[in-house]
Structure 1
Amino acid sequence: MTDAYVALEGGHVVEARGRSPGTARGELVFTTAYTGYEESLTDPSYEEQILTFAYPLIGNYGVRPERFESDRVHPRAVVARELTDDVADWLTAEGVPAVDHLDTRDLVIDIRESGAMKCGIAVGDDVTPQDALDELEKCKTMSEHADIGAQVSVDTPVVHNQTGDGPTVALVDCGAKRSIIDSLVDRDATVHVVPYDTTPDEITAINPDILFISNGPGDPANFEAAVSLVDEFVGELPIAGICLGQQIVARALGGTTEKMDFGHRGVNQPVIDTRSNKVVMTTQNHGYTVVDPGPNLTVTQRNVNDDTPEGLDNDELNIITRQYHPEANPGPNDTLAFFDDVLSMVDATDGRTLAVADD
């Protein structure tokens, strides 16, 4: 059995079975999802984190690339009670360390009681507990990853469905999942995926009908360029956001955000709409939340478990954001209509053309 050690913040080291070799460090988090491990492992929102699966068996329906949400695995390492050989081989090919045969129930309880924590992992034939502790010592907090957007964003703009008959969407890629793009393309939108640090002039050159801020990893305070885009175009363009995108929009409109103790990660988060009193089940993956949306946004949906804001709206300014992942990959399909609501905002600004800045 390959040696494997997991060093937790505070210095406690857990022994495990190694399934994919290497060393890694990151914020230790957990997901309660029992399906969708392919989507979770390729979700850019897990960048710089070590993902623990609460469900005991991961990999029981194989690995199929058509389910991937990006072109690589994003967690720095993977922890499970048991990983199948299919998943272990995939992670080995990706160069992502993985361990199993440890008590993940105990780990999840630790995270719930102490919060998401720094972690170091070492896997190999000759590794020692000190190797894991050395990784832990070098681990940063999520807020310290000031350049995390560069790790998950496109380098240059990419256009999807260029000949679409629907609205033109400028999607700011802060770590966007493919299924978000697909959800817009399926509705015949033309989607310009642009880097996280795109300038207002570059957005103006696209002349989009909607500005859309994607999901992504880390602290929204580290996405100043995206905040500036929202500030620049609020009132001129309809604006939408998902997950990190909601937090960025809130910050741009005078709101505040903060880190949660252990976040929301799973496919069974209940959300209530404050207007209809209807509850939907949602897929979520975030460690930060909006505390105060500011004076220009109304909280229209809340998490049933902890009352955190799940939806922000401003009908006059044509703004709609959601903290959860409406594209539902993986997860329930209760909230897919969000994309219809986003595209319908174009009707309120039909015929609008952004002014191109003078050179």
Structure 2
Amino acid sequence: MTDAYLALETGDVVEANARAPGRAQGELVFTTAYTGYEESLTDPSYEAQVLTFAYPLIGNYGVRPERFESDRVHPSAVVARELTDDIADWLREEGVPAVDGLDTRDVVLSVREQGAMKVGIAAGPDATPEAARAELADCPHMSDIEDIGERVSVAERETHGTDAGDGANADTHVALLDCGAKRSIVDSLTDRGATVTVLPHDATPEAVAELDPDVLFVSNGPGDPANFEAAQRVVSEFVGDIPLAGICLGQQVVARALGGTTEKMEFGHRGVNQPVLDHESGRVVMTTQNHGYTVADPGDLEVTQINVNDDTPEALDSAELDVLTRQYHPEANPGPHDTLDFFDDVLAMAESGRVPLAAD
């Protein structure tokens, strides 16, 4: 029995089965990953989006909280060909509408051919096509969600890894601007012995200066990088004084702060098999990605890696300024571990004998 409807910007209304009831709206995107659904659903970079799984069966190995990348589900709704009861029950408990029983191949092809689009969803006993269309009519564009950073960032600073011991990076202090950080980024740094202080996305330069960190790191996150002006100001303030690193949205924020520009992609990169070419080594690695914006002009930075499929920048570096950024997710949850050495390279920048800010 049809009890769910998806109203697309194309004018089409797609019928489906409600697995978790409710109404929702957001940018319709898809991921090609066939594992890691727990990590994807708890990835803050999916905030305000409706996530469609291209793989037909989602939930076949259950739900384990230790795999979560944050403390909640972030997509505003979930679409799949078939959801197991475990996933449907979890999404129902989270209050996130979920639908299945539709041909997701058609949904994915619509996004591929016409680009990421707005969608309205109504699911449950009282759902109607008109209710789905009403959600669509009220749905904002991603670039218009100016408070998206507040939705995914910590409210107050947090410190992780203070019991790091005597490891190689035990004295390294990383200040992480939380624009929607995945837990595995923090874990990747603390596992290497660093102490990580997580700061709100809108932290002031004074808050960073007070910490006097060895590395300033800008995290991944959702939405348009132009809406993270506070993080750009922090990067502009400390470039050349503190080594800088960034992942995903973090790369875009760093580029914008250093004279570059960003642009929205047609349908983005979301999956665990994106090929990336390193210019220096000639090596191609497989990467995990989740982003709808990209760097158009790198500004003061050098493009050192590109996406094999569309030549978009995947890595920006500057030895002179001590900057390392990656568009993909080296921590790779879910996904391959081809690029975990990025975190070693970031922490190595802290070993250059930087003069403390107070001594400048």
Fold conserved between structures, TM > 0.5: yes
The question of whether the paired residues in 1 share the 8 Å contact of 2:26 and 2:49 is answered with yes
Asked whether the 8 Å contact 2:220–2:250 carries over to 1, the reply is yes
Q: Which residue pairs with 2:311 in the alignment? A: 307
Residues 184-231 of structure 1 deviation map (CA, whole Å, 9 limit, x = unaligned): 000010000000000000001111000000000000000000000000
1:205 paired to 2:213: no
* Count of residues paired in the alignment: 355
Q: Are 1:266 and 2:267 an aligned pair?
A: no
Q: The residue matched to 2:264 in structure 1 has which SS?
A: strand
What SS class does the counterpart of residue 73 from structure 2 fall into? coil
Shift of 1:48: 0.3
Query: What are the superposed Cα offsets for residues 256-302 of structure 1, whole Å, 9 maximum, x if unpaired?
Result: 000000000000000000111000000000000001101x2000000
1:74-223 paired onto structure 2 within 5 Å: 74-164=74-164, 165-223=170-228
Matching residue within 333, 350, 355 for 1:352: 355
1:316 maps to a residue whose letter is E
Shift of 1:237: 0.2
Is contact 1:11-1:133 (8 Å) kept? no
The answer on whether the counterparts of 1:51 and 1:77 sit within 8 Å (CA) in structure 2 is: yes
Which sections of structure 1, spanning at least 5 residues, go unmatched?
none
8 Å Cα contact 1:205-1:356 kept in structure 2: no
Secondary structure in structure 1 of the residue aligned to 2:328? coil
The alpha carbon displacement at 1:356 in A equals 8.6
Task: Give matches, 1:285-296, under 5 Å.
Answer: 285-294=290-299, 296=300
Q: What corresponds to 1:283 in structure 2?
A: 288
Q: State the percentage of identical aligned residues.
A: 71
Contact 1:299 1:312 in 2 (8 A): yes
Q: Which residue in 2 is equivalent to 1:246?
A: 251
Whichever residue aligns with residue 347 of structure 1, its letter is: E
Larger deviation, residues 212-221 vs 8-17: 8-17
Matched with 2:167 is none
Match of 1:231 in 2: 236
Counterpart of 1:54 in structure 2 is 54
Amino acid at match of 1:289: T
Given the alignment of the two structures, is residue 30 of structure 1 paired with residue 30 of structure 2, yes or no? yes
Asked if structure 1 preserves the Cα contact closer than 8 Å seen for 2:2 and 2:15, the reply is: no
Residues 200 and 229 in structure 1, CA contact (< 8 A), matched pair in contact too: yes
Report the Cα offset of residue 118 of structure 1: 0.3
How far did residue 161 of structure 1 move? 1.1
**TM-score, normalised relative to structure 1:** 0.98
Deviation at 1:10, TM superposition (A): 3.0
Shift of the alpha carbon at 1:34?
Answer: 0.3
Structure 1 residue 127: deviation in Å? 1.3
Residues of 2 paired with 1:199 and 1:2: CA distance?
A: 50
Shift of 1:347: 1.5
Partner of 1:322: 326
Shift of 1:11: 2.2
Aligned-residue offset at 1:12: 1.1
How far apart are the structure 1 equivalents of 2:40 and 2:359? 40
- Listed one character per residue, the Cα deviations across residues 227-252 of structure 1 (whole Å, up to 9, x for unaligned) are 00000000000000000000000000
* Match in the other structure for 2:347: 343
Aligned partners of 1:2 and 1:19 also within 8 Å: no
Moved over 4 A (4+): none
State the AA in 1 paired with 2:237.
Answer: E
Amino acid at match of 1:197: D
Q: C-alpha displacement at 1:166, in angstroms? A: 3.6
**Structure 1 residue 352: Cα displacement:** 2.0
| AA of the residue aligned to 1:112 | R
Residues 89-140 of structure 1: per-residue CA shift (max 9 Å, x gap)? 0000000000001010011000000000000000111211000000000001
- Give the secondary-structure state (helix, strand or coil) at the position aligned to 2:105: helix
CA contact (8 A) 2:220 2:246 kept: yes
| DSSP-derived class of the 2:344 partner | helix
Query: Retained in 2: the 8 A contact 1:166–1:187?
Result: no
Tell me how far apart the structure 1 counterparts of residues 285 and 125 of structure 2 sit (CA, whole Å): 47
TM score, norm. by length of structure 2: 0.97
CA RMSD between the two structures: 1.0
Instruction: Output the CA distance in 1 between the equivalents of 2:338 and 2:179.
Output: 24
Q: Structure 2 CA distance, aligned partners of 1:18 and 1:2?
A: 8
Q: 1:2: Cα distance to partner?
A: 6.2
